[in-house]
Structure 1
């Protein structure tokens, strides 16, 4: 957080010092640099991430200027960078005795304590840094936030970032970090808010437009995502990841023809990307063009035989063509790669059911329901399968279990009412039907599709008339 020495040298002087230092390393000749020059050299090296040479520069500077506090601070920072927090603390304690008013000392001490997993001690040192920050409060708070990131505590980092934002809402680096880390935590709306604040200050940063597009996509705002990717490409037309994401957004908007065109454009840059070939296949599948879809799934699998989405989707095509043996083989392979994907198990169960593998289908339905109990469609299909097998009581039990996880789902209650009427349990059937009608009257035809005879039941007709909006 300490002042960059390049603020005290003009840009050319700082660069000249850096170039001369690099030259001295190559030639082995000794060149004298004053404190400010060494600071600028070290700052350049830190910016480059060349921490090995940072350590070398610090050692040289310490030999020539052993009492210079700015150099000693950078020495402490180099110890932190080289993962030596205990040695850094030894140096920082000495510096704290020499300069009790320097917030950088306590900021670094806090960082070192975090590296040693001493959280309470770190927070104590950070508090001292904040107290001493003065006009640099926003910068101190921001750097405290960044100190929490290597410790894996994004929530604490954001807490300090927010405090820094309240002091200085126009720090572009801070706004970008808030946008990025809120997205990492799944808070898409907050991510969008901060990225937009950044772009109000600097609308010409393609990387931020790209990240904004990702956040919009996570928030299911696909039109907005598309707009963000278009801005990205207007600023940098070779930003090919934006082309890929744009294609995904178009596919999510069911604009499959445009999506296919965008995937083709992306593949000019990255022809071996199996996901792009696979997603192009998805677009054709959603258009009902199964032969074309199969062609692109094959291409994806040639590149990556373990692309589970391509295996699964190709399995769906064989299912639709009633080639159950090939369908089951492919979906089973997809499951072997992604064992906890409920959609794979659900589809596998349905193909097993259609192909007459009743026992295996039963197990697959149970697995799908276990993995995603909030999906009422799984429970309804499972119960329908049991009902088809003549297991009406078991189907009722399955639906009741499903309702525990989907209390406000009308479809599952209509199906339960239909099966209860079959067993002449009119009292409970009426209770389930009434609840379903209250939840979603417009779906009451689900009852008759599952049990056509229900239309002749007087209590059913009476309930429907009671809740009909067209009385």
Structure 2
């Protein structure tokens, strides 16, 4: 922010004195020890300009991964420029980055109240609501964002995830297909279609979805492991085992049931995964991978 100029002036009795930024009226002897602070008056335009400058500093810090420092500046920027929707959007985004989604929600809603045409803010708000478990609110925010900008495959995918959590499977699948409409190589959408098909007992259809996801990215561990489980359950035991061994080497995080659940795996798939993991060949690899992590 620009520096404040400090003027020092001496005048006759009855005048204002400015000494190091403090104004002193001529006082009686009894009052002479009391100093009345002088507060510099900044216009709203000055404050907004300074707020945007501080917001730019916050953005630069964020670009260097200094998120906590960026958050401090973004809070100050919001105080200085409370009518700047960009500042509130930045503040909300930083709260999300430091895993404080509950704090992000009011900041993002303030940004939207100031400007209802920024699709990205609705997308961020949808993410914040999703991460706090408010799935209906997440779906509503994402739909509003997609009404403004429909060509973002990732946000159709996120909307599908919100509907999945709301147990509205047909709607979820429809959003995943919209994601694929805008990005035919977006394998997570195919993967999650497979997850829902599996939970609905449509195992052959789920296998095809997982296979299509693997074909798009052969290095993605999740669809490969899900495919392994489906093959194992369908009686293709050795193929399922072999596929699982490859998948776990690609992404050992899926060993943990909690990680599976975080990635929206359903109870049926998780139960069948546990059965596959009980196989001696798979169990041996799991123990090796866990030992490597513990080292």
- What is the TM-score with the length of structure 1 in the denominator? 0.46
Q: 1:333: how far off?
A: 1.0
Between the two structures, name the one with larger relative contact order (CA 8 Å, sep ≥ 6): 2
Task: Structure 1: state its 5+ residue gaps.
Answer: 3-98, 102-130, 373-471
The count of aligned residue pairs is 244
Match of 2:178 among 260, 265, 275: 265
Counterpart of 1:361 in structure 2 is: 283
Counterpart of 1:232 in structure 2 is: 145
Counterpart of 2:245 in structure 1 is: 332
Structure 1 residues 179 and 318: CA distance shift in structure 2, 3 A: same
Q: Which has the larger radius of gyration?
A: 1
Counterpart of 2:117 in structure 1 is: 204
Match of 2:222 among 309, 328, 337: 309
Match of 2:133 among 220, 225, 232: 220
State whether residues 122 and 145 of structure 2, in contact with CA within 8 Å, keep that contact through their aligned partners in structure 1: yes
- What is the TM-score with the length of structure 2 in the denominator? 0.71
State whether residues 340 and 371 of structure 1, in contact with CA within 8 Å, keep that contact through their aligned partners in structure 2: no
Q: Distance in 1 between matches of 2:199 and 2:114?
A: 41
Q: 1:370: how far off?
A: 9.6
1:351 matched to 2:276? The reply is yes
Q: Distance in 1 between matches of 2:108 and 2:4?
A: 38
Q: Distance in 1 between matches of 2:77 and 2:218?
A: 48
Cα deviation code 1:387-424 (max 9, x no counterpart): xxxxxxxxxxxxxxxxxxxxxxxxxxxxxxxxxxxxxx
State whether residues 190 and 210 of structure 2, in contact with CA within 8 Å, keep that contact through their aligned partners in structure 1: yes
Q: 1:351: how far off?
A: 2.2
Q: Distance in 1 between matches of 2:198 and 2:73?
A: 47
Paired residues for 1:399-410 under 5 Å: none
Q: Distance in 1 between matches of 2:41 and 2:228?
A: 64
Q: Distance in 1 between matches of 2:155 and 2:131?
A: 15
Task: Structure 2: state its 5+ residue gaps.
Answer: 6-39, 261-269
Q: 1:294: how far off?
A: 0.5
Q: 1:185: how far off?
A: 1.0
What SS does the aligned partner of 2:116 have?
A: coil
State whether residues 133 and 140 of structure 1, in contact with CA within 8 Å, keep that contact through their aligned partners in structure 2: no
Paired residues for 1:62-461 under 5 Å: 135-136=46-47, 137-343=50-256, 350-353=275-278, 355=279, 357=280, 361=283, 364=286
What SS does the aligned partner of 1:149 have?
A: helix
What SS does the aligned partner of 2:182 have?
A: coil
Counterpart of 1:45 in structure 2 is: none
In terms of fraction of residues, the more helix-rich structure is 1
Q: Distance in 1 between matches of 2:109 and 2:4?
A: 40
Q: 1:148: how far off?
A: 2.5
Counterpart of 1:81 in structure 2 is: none
Q: Distance in 1 between matches of 2:196 and 2:70?
A: 40
Q: 1:366: how far off?
A: 8.4
Q: Distance in 2 between matches of 1:147 and 1:100?
A: 24
Structure 1 residues 249 and 370: CA distance shift in structure 2, 3 A: farther
Q: 1:177: how far off?
A: 0.4
Structure 1 residues 145 and 307: CA distance shift in structure 2, 3 A: closer
Q: 1:295: how far off?
A: 1.0
Q: Distance in 1 between matches of 2:283 and 2:62?
A: 46
Moved over 6 A (4+): 131-134, 344-349, 369-372
Counterpart of 1:413 in structure 2 is: none
Q: Distance in 2 between matches of 1:143 and 1:268?
A: 36
State whether residues 312 and 334 of structure 1, in contact with CA within 8 Å, keep that contact through their aligned partners in structure 2: yes
Structure 1 residues 349 and 247: CA distance shift in structure 2, 3 A: closer
Q: Distance in 2 between matches of 1:271 and 1:338?
A: 23
Q: CA RMSD in A?
A: 3.3
